[in-house]
Amino acid sequence: MKRLAIPVMLLLTMSTTYAQTKPGAGAKKTSPKTVAKPKAAPAIKKEDVDEGKVLLTKSDCLACHKVDTKVVGPAYADVAKKYPYSTANVDLLSTKIINGGSGTWGAVPMAAHPALAAADVKKMVTYILSLNAK
Ligand code: HEC
């Protein structure tokens, strides 16, 4: 009986040690994969947001748009809700502002803004879409 006790104890010690070091046996499971993001959007640049906000006041935008309420055009907060910030949406909305747009928010079309620089319009849109994050 005594001769058997030592190997059994050794076996027990070994198995508990194994259980502790076994991957995934710990309380916290750390997955090597990070949580999948819904397609990485570039971070919103604060300086673009600030500049975009100023540019909006210099153009005619605010004659037809307010942040929180619909005027002639949709509220910018509603635009931000509809379009999550992404490069594709910034490009899409910039094109619509420059070329004019219609049919998305109602019967009234938005006039074209061919005189605006594309880079400036993108900043305006970046500001508009940043409203969703607040
Ligand atoms: C004369 C009024 C008017 C002016 C000025 C105007 N908008 Fe609009 N805007 C509208 C209307 C109306 C719509 C809705 C068009 C539609 O239903 O597709 C709109 C839509 C938009 C949208 C959403 C487009 C979409 O397809 O969802 C954005 C973004 C926008 N305007 C930004 C601007 C910016 C920036 C300016 C200034 C450079 C501006 N607007 C100037 C009337 C205007």
Domain membership of residue 1 (yes or no) is no
pLDDT at residue 7, as a whole number: 55
CATH classification at residue 128 = 1.10.760.10
Q: How many domains does the chain have?
A: 1
Q: What is the mean pLDDT of the chain?
A: 83
Distance 34 CA to ligand 1 centre (A): 38
pTM of the predicted protein model: 0.77
What percentage of residues in the chain have a pLDDT greater than 70? 68
Residue 11 covered by a domain: no
Q: Are 76 and 131 in contact (CB under 8 A)?
A: yes
Q: Which of 67, 76, 110 to mutate to test the pocket of ligand 1 (most atoms within 8 A of CB)?
A: 110
**Residue 110 CB less than 6 A away from ligand 1:** yes
- Could you report the per-residue pLDDT of 69-100, keeping only the tens digit for each? 999 999 999 999 999 999 999 999 999 999 99
Residue 113: inside a domain = yes
The winner for highest mean pLDDT among 4-8, 35-39, 59-63 is 59-63
**Model pLDDT, residue 132:** 84
Residue 115 lies in a domain: yes
CB within 8 A of 67, min separation 6: which ones? 75, 76, 77, 131
Bridge partners for 70 per DSSP: 65
Establish if 39 belongs to a structural domain. Answer: no
The rounded Å distance from CA 110 to ligand 1 centre is 5
Average pLDDT, integer, range 112-126: 98
Residues 6+ positions from 69 with CB-CB distance below 8 Å:
75
The boundaries of the domain holding residue 107 are 46-133
- CA 129 – CA 35 distance, rounded (Å): 24
Residues sharing a CB contact under 8 Å with residue 37, sequence separation 6 or more, in sequence order:
none
Domain assignment present for 8: no
The answer to whether 19 and 27 are in contact (CB under 8 A) is no
Evaluate whether residue 21 is within a structural domain.
Answer: no
pLDDT tens digits for 14-44? 554 444 545 544 455 555 666 655 566 778 9
Secondary structure class of 110 (helix, strand, coil): strand
Looking at per-residue confidence, does 114 or 11 come out higher? 114
Is the shortest distance between the CB of 98 and ligand 1 below 6 Å? Answer: no
